[in-house]
Structure 1
């Protein structure tokens, strides 16, 4: 009887392990299915405010061609870089999303260009993937974690994370300083969607939050676009420089419990300085030692730790 119970227990543990591994591979497949050349539409609309006198801002819509590809693909980690192609030829290095399996630490946005580290328990991290989103200059934006769901032919992941204001409002809004993103990323037959239910929040110095308004957002990535070759060519010429930018940022984040960024240095934003610096090191002109030293100088000038 004892041997039978031990055998049943061993079989149950084996089945659980096999299920977890199969589930993880499903998760990885869904993340990697975000690779491709896409036509993208961005649509945002404010929907509700607790203040009856609040006047909603105008809806926002835009569209673009976007190339998404893996720059790292490991069993527990996938990094997807986004590059915009504007008017068929102009290239903009766009956001990056890193995915880490059963990650135990997140860099949480607080407010006023400040991020603080927070621990995740082993229990809460089990089976989850943390999505870390970075700005165009590879500085931190937000991190959220959740479980990929595969049911009834649907494949989606959801999380809640505080973030800075989106670029479309960062220079025109002063009534809120935190965007609480309720994100749902879903793989579809034609590509993938990022659906958002966002809370625009004003957070005071005591950490008290006041809800200003809700916002609905849809980012629809439709595959089949053929206009991404300029992005592919640009990355071949510039990937070494941006690999070193990521390395410097990783070192900075790993060695500090808090990151606070200056908005401008010498009247320039960080992305302006790094994009200009990257132009010096395209293709055969790349000198890693020199480039990395200059990258460190730029990033250190913006970090107030």
Structure 2
């Protein structure tokens, strides 16, 4: 399977070369998306930019970097999926975010507020020609979903969308002065790799409506280079069966619910802590039992769901 996906990726990437120009916009779209796979140095830069309240105290700028391994999980005609791993050094691997790209998707799971996501349907006319980016947390629970059209003009390849999201991980446990991040995102393939540019609105959402707390500018830049992701590759070989089971259980849950309300903790533990603990147990077994793993995964996830 790994070799098959690598071959698919290579075919798509060839479409960006002068000798293999894409024959349709759809193929250009797929080539742009698949080109995100690889081993990168990633930098994170975020700064608050504007607040309507002149007394607002701006928070410090956030700047970090790391080595990110972006694994191509799936590449079919209308769906492309990546798993991100963050290599933080000393042999420590962080299962990072996941992104799925679905062509002309009409069913979205959109963030409302307070750890609640709601299904939303868009008509096929609105979805025509668009790609929906579905972003998931480290435990494969939902984060945000937004749709837009890829543009290929003047040698540039970019996609833009707006989506509501929970607080980012960098602020999730540190702030309670806003409860929704309205993300204005632009993904662009660049000469150095690719970039996620953000113009975010930190928003206070109540029954009375939305109030802007402040704006934020963000850049996540993925730089190609001679970086070593061997540790991440080895880690994924050992853990990929378990996380495939997690995705399978989540997919079944997503198909059945119209509203997903998740508790932040159960027994003083978060969902990711519990799922990572199960991962440690099953990934260490010589004989992996998919059914047993899925049963345990489902039991844990359902314990966090509020009806």
Give 1:51-200 correspondences, 5 Å limit.
51-200=53-202
- For 1:72 and 1:303, the matched residues in 2 are separated by 28
The question of whether the paired residues in 2 share the 8 Å contact of 1:39 and 1:225 is answered with: no
Superposed CA deviations along residues 76-119 of structure 1, whole A, max 9, x for unmatched, are 00101100111151111000000000000111100000000111
1:264 alignment counterpart: 265
Separation in 2, partners of 1:225, 1:247? 34
1:174 match: secondary structure:
coil
- Report the equivalent of 2:41: 39
Separation of aligned partners in 2, 1:224 and 1:246: 30
Give TM-score scaled by structure 1 length: 0.92
Q: Distance in 2 between matches of 1:121 and 1:42?
A: 35
Q: How many residues align?
A: 285
Structure-2 change in CA distance of 1:207 and 1:107 (3 Å):
farther
What is the Cα deviation at residue 60 of structure 1?
A: 0.5
1:266-285 Cα distance to aligned partner (Å, 9 max, x none) = 10011111111001111634
SS in 1 for 2:303: helix
Find the aligned partners of 2:259 and 2:129 in 1 and give their Cα distance: 27
Q: Distance in 1 between matches of 2:209 and 2:287?
A: 50
Aligned-pair CA distance for 1:190: 1.3
Paired residues of 2:67 and 2:227 also in contact (CA < 8 A): no
Q: Post-superposition, which runs of at least 4 consecutive aligned residues in structure 1 deviate over 3 A?
A: none
Equivalent-residue separation in structure 2 for 1:198 and 1:88 (angstroms): 33
Query: Is contact 1:115-1:258 (8 Å) kept?
Result: yes
CA distance in 2, matches of 1:147, 1:163: 20
Q: Distance in 1 between matches of 2:233 and 2:240?
A: 10
CA contact (8 A) 1:41 1:63 kept: yes
Q: 3-state SS of the aligned residue for 1:281? A: helix
1:22 corresponds to which of 15, 21, 24? 24
Structure 2: 5+ residue runs without aligned partners? Answer: 1-21
Shift of 1:224: 1.4
CA shift in 2, pair 1:207/1:279, >3 Å = farther
What is the rounded CA distance, in whole Å, between the counterparts of 1:34 and 1:190 in structure 2? 11
Kept in 1: contact 2:86–2:93 (CA 8 A): yes
Give the corresponding residue for 1:235. Answer: 236
Q: Secondary structure of the equivalent of 2:24?
A: helix
Per the alignment, do residues 21 and 88 of structure 1 end up closer, same or farther by CA in structure 2, a change over 3 Å counting?
farther
Determine which structure has more spread, i.e. the larger CA radius of gyration: 1
TM-score, normalised to structure 2, is 0.91
